Structure 1
């Protein structure tokens, strides 16, 4: 479904009132494996994507490049089954704890954060 971030949504008004969105109407959404704490990926949600995530039990994101909603796993088969959703202390980031089926990264890797580890300076 193609839409525009920030358009009217069925998201609970009390939750919507708490969200601090960027100028584009989006908030970052971190997907984390619920049982291991492994950080899997970062996606973007608007009110409608968050509403769909909360009501369907599957992660829905807003694609900034395609300008449409996408449900993780619909094309890849690598589903994210939602276990919990939380806002950070500033209500400007969403943490979605999921049970990841298969790869989370579009490259086929389990996580988006394991291939390019940057070196730290040694004291």
Structure 2
């Protein structure tokens, strides 16, 4: 140990460490008080990637994927219903147009017959 000439204190690492901690440093723990790594409140970052947690994450991911697929099916079902309703309306409109065309043909046929009869009277 080297003593400082000005203060008379030794300059070893131990005394410097004691000075940093304060006057009454804490005593080391007894063997019975030592913490076991299993019982630590905060775990190290390596524990995050243990296989058990990976399995849990995979299960969560699969459940989320299945929920997403279910929502897609529901959306597709709703879209299908919308398209079926639109198709039904288009079929009704087409039926009405066909009826109008058939009436127009009937009217056209009657008017054609009427015109033919007028022409026949004119030239007779």
State the TM-score, normalizing by the size of structure 2: 0.17
TM-score for the superposition, normalised by structure 1 = 0.17
Q: Which has the higher helix share?
A: 2
* Higher-RCO chain (CA-CA 8 Å, sequence separation at least 6): 1
Higher strand share: 1
